[in-house]
A and B are shown apart, each in its own frame.
Chain A
Amino acid sequence: MEDVKGSDGLGDTELRLGLPGTSTATRSAKRALPEGDEESHDELRRTSAAKAQVVGWPPIRSYRKNSFPGRKVEAEAAAGLYVKVSMDGAPYLRKIDLGVYKGYKELREGLDNMFKCFSLAELSRREGGSGSEYAITYEDKDGDLMLVGDVPWEMFISSCKRLRIMKGSEARGLNSRH
């Protein structure tokens, strides 16, 4: 697909953090096809030898090709879509696999469970808010901070890089956009 492994062969011996098969080196930006899919999640799966992509082959309209940005059939989500989750005020971060959730509802429940011990969600609920005194935000591939829930789920999991649970005044500012 693309020459992720350096042609000098030394890439394999390079010491770096990350799962085998991934590369943190800058990829070659030259791709014959203007593909819309998000590569970082798919790299783990693409272990087959890099074949140069040919322009316009297979003959699928780009409109259709770009309709599945990084989407997977559920059965195929072997590699997982792990993202870090931080919560304001919590001493350490967590990591979750976005691929195991079917939608926003499950994600919220999962995060609730995970961060219950910090009792922020419970606190705000007890105070009469519907748990909305915090907001779940995420950093997308452009580096922007976005509110979780605006875009279709599939689009979200392909563009989400990390999650951040914001509380208090910061969250209020975001929530008032609804």
Chain B
Amino acid sequence: MTEDCDGEEKDEETRRWSPGQGSSSRGGGSGAAASSPLKTRCVRGRVDQAPPFSGQVLENVLENVLQFLACRRDRNAASLVCRSWYRAEARTRLELFIGNCYAVSPARALGRFRCARALVLKGRPRFADFNLVPVGWGARFSPWVAAMAAAYPWLERVCLKRMTVSDADLALLARSFSSFRDLTLICCDGFGTPGLAAVAELCRNLRVLDLIDNDVEDEDEEVVDWISRFPETATRLESLSFECVNCPVNFAALEALVARSPSLRRLRVNQHVSVGQLRCLMVRTPQLTHLGTGSFETVPAADGAAELDVAELESSFVASKSLVCLSGFRMVAPEYLPAIYPVCTGLVSLNLSYAVTTAEQLKPVVLQCHNLQTFWVLDTVGDEGLRAVAKTCKHLRELRVFPFEATEDSESAVSDAGLMAISEGCQKLRSILYFCQRMTNAAVVTMSKNCQELVVFRLCIMGRHRPDHITGEPMDEGFGAIVMNCKKLTRLAVSGLLTDKVFEYIAKHGKLVRTLSVAFAGNSDLSLRYVLEGCHKLQKLEIRDSPFGDAGLLSGIHHYYNMRFLWMNSCKLSLRGCKEVAQRLPRLVVEVFGDHNKDLDSDAVEKLYLYRSLVGPRDDVPSFVKIL
């Protein structure tokens, strides 16, 4: 359930990523501060580096202490104390988090951290999800897996986000690490069922195979029955998620696999699994905690002539006493939805964002979900559906309302009224993503006052430049109130008609903001300047179609080394301005590119992506990218 998981929020996937490690706190890059003069050698026994004997003892003691330190930020801080601490920390870091794969090279990262057993690696910038980064831009896993195959024979876990992973990469991964247990791929591409087959077959200790929102491509002739490739003996599988794998799976093999996986607790199937088949699976796995239901619909070819009775389906849910997280419902036939009533009171997380349901269909479900903390839904349930949520789900922490029709001029059944209701009913809310067509400042202000726990506020008014639909004013005051009143806010996405004023508010009050997303907003360079000068904790800034030019860009020179990246597309930048940034900040990589057919020599810059890096310009630059 990581639609747009940026790791900032404690969404489900990163939460269950081993409680002791990889907490949601962040640091930029790989932890090696750009200003650190220390070299990355940390090999014991090198005479010129070896400390005196007493120092060695101290380092051993230190290592024993540091192994309990899991938080990445704390480790980064510890490594800066002195060389001894640096070495000890490097030897004891078990999980390597690299927020931008180009900020560091495999050789350098692996050279410093010799004992890591887990890698979290992120590639493309988030706007790649919306087709703004041309295909072939980069972020390939190949050099990493090749380096790790040599350096980390004991590697256990890999989590990749927005990387290009080929079938060959997966095969190499599967062959190279005998203790390998967890593979999580989020928003990746480049692989198909052959790669999955290799993982299934060769990773004998596999516990987690989670494929989330990946673009799994298969030519029709090449589809491989990967489910059948798992070993015939009992497996150690704890989690299997393949909702994004678009081709049908061999159901008999899946059922058999599930039957011989006694540790399986999380199972999320794709939409080719019918509700009848789901029931067979549930019978085999009553101990599931997380279930992705697939289509939740009868498919005559799969289910035979008889349709599944709702009562029969309900009995399966009655038997699944441990369910806390439900998702799927890809094609849900509304008459089957009541089958989940038996588990509603126990649910902590419910994802109905692929289920086209009305308020009337939703209400009986949601009115039983008293313990719900995470809820994803489609806007087809309307303000009325959201009112039902507000009435019941008093412990709600995360809400995402997605549009059924994601176009600018669509009709959306949710509006400021729904937001207002949620703010009144769900005051423990920490994270919200809300797509709508009509919004008012009043509703946003009310939310800012009622929901003081907000850490993530992302409001997307789909019609561009839309003002408050009652007063006709820009949405400045609403977002301003959010940054003013929500003192814990770290992530913000703005939309609607916005002037420079809102950025002045954000700069003044959004002192903890780390991620900011801007689209079709602002009047002038002032906006960008406010933000870059005022938001001291800003790490990730992504901007599109806003009138910001070189002057604004240059106002961030003092801050870019502290950021993970800046992305700007369709703004008013020129090559001259970008070049100046590149010259003045040598450790920054400044990439400019346009769409493939754009003329790279014209002075206007269509897309800018800049990020700090320890290793300078990357060597896999495609022809349409220019590094300044």
Residues of A within 8 A of B (CB): 1, 33-34, 48, 51, 53-65, 67-68, 71-75, 102-105, 149-155, 178
Contacts and interface: CB of A to CB of B under 8 A. Distances in A.
Contacts of A58: 403, 406-408, 435, 460, 462
Given A54-B464, A61-B4, A1 B407 contact: yes
Nearest to B409: A48
Nearest to B297: A152
A110 B4 CA distance: 43
Given A73-B356, A153-B331, A155-B331, 4 more contacts: A53-B408, A59-B519, A64-B354, A178-B301
B331 A154 contact: yes
B407 A103 contact: no
B409 A62 contact: no
Q: Could you say which of A62, A65, A152 has the most chain B C-beta atoms within 10 Å of its C-beta?
A: A152
A153 B297 contact: yes
Nearest to B461: A58
B131 A56 contact: yes
Question: How would you classify the secondary structure of chain B's contact residues: helix, strand, loop or mixed?
Answer: loop
Nearest to A55: B131
Given A151-B299, A154-B331, A57 B403 contact: no
A93 to B, nearest CB: 25
A64 B378 CA distance: 11
Contact of A61 (B3, B409, B460): B3
**Leading 7 A-B pairs by shortest Cβ distance:** A56-B130, A149-B300, A60-B406, A152-B331, A58-B462, A150-B301, A61-B129
Question: How would you classify the secondary structure of chain A's contact residues: helix, strand, loop or mixed?
Answer: loop
Contacts of A149: 300-301
A64 B331 contact: no
The bracket for how many chain B residues form the interface is: 35 or more
B404 interface: yes
Contact of A57 (B3, B298, B519): B519
Nearest to B126: A59
Q: Could you say which of A57, A60, A74 has the most chain B C-beta atoms within 10 Å of its C-beta?
A: A57
Contacts of B307: 105
10 contacts: A55-B132, A57-B408, A57-B519, A58-B406, A61-B129, A64-B3, A64-B402, A71-B356, A149-B301, A150-B300
A57 B300 contact: no
B213 interface: yes
Given A56-B127, A65-B406, A104-B300, A73 B215 contact: no
Interface string B1-21: 001100000000000000000
Nearest to A178: B301
B356 A51 contact: no
Nearest to B127: A56
Nearest to B295: A152
A56 B3 contact: no
Contacts of B409: 1, 48, 51
Contacts of A75: 358
A56 B132 contact: yes
Contacts of B181: none
Nearest to A151: B299
B271 A152 contact: yes
B367 interface: no
Contacts of A151: 299
A68 B462 CA distance: 18
Nearest to A63: B213
B408 A68 contact: no
Interface in B126-180: 127, 129-132
Nearest to B274: A152
A8 B450 CA distance: 54
B299 A152 contact: yes
Contacts of B406: 58, 60, 64-65
Contacts of B460: 58-59
Contacts of A59: 127, 129-130, 460, 517, 519
Given A68-B356, A71-B356, A61 B213 contact: yes
B380 interface: yes
A65 B3 CA distance: 12
B71 interface: no
Given A60-B402, A61-B130, A53 B407 contact: yes
A60 B130 contact: yes
Nearest to B404: A68
Interface in B211-259: 213, 215, 244
Q: Could you say which of B132, B407, B519 has the most chain A C-beta atoms within 10 Å of its C-beta?
A: B407
B436 to A, nearest CB: 10
B350 to A, nearest CB: 17
A154 to B, nearest CB: 5
Interface in B352-379: 353-354, 356, 358
Contacts of B333: 102-103, 153
Nearest to B405: A68
Nearest to B302: A150
A135 B327 CA distance: 35
Nearest to A105: B307
Contact of A73 (B187, B213, B358, B519): B358
Interface in B520-550: 520, 544-545
B572 interface: no
Contact of B464 (A48, A57, A65, A73): A57
Nearest to A152: B331
Given A63-B244, A103-B333, A152-B271, A51 B299 contact: no
Nearest to B520: A57
A56 B460 CA distance: 13
A72 B380 CA distance: 10
A162 B129 CA distance: 36
A67 B300 CA distance: 20
Nearest to A150: B301
Contacts of A54: 408, 464, 545
Contact of B408 (A51, A65, A67, A178): A51
A152 B275 CA distance: 11
A150 B297 CA distance: 12
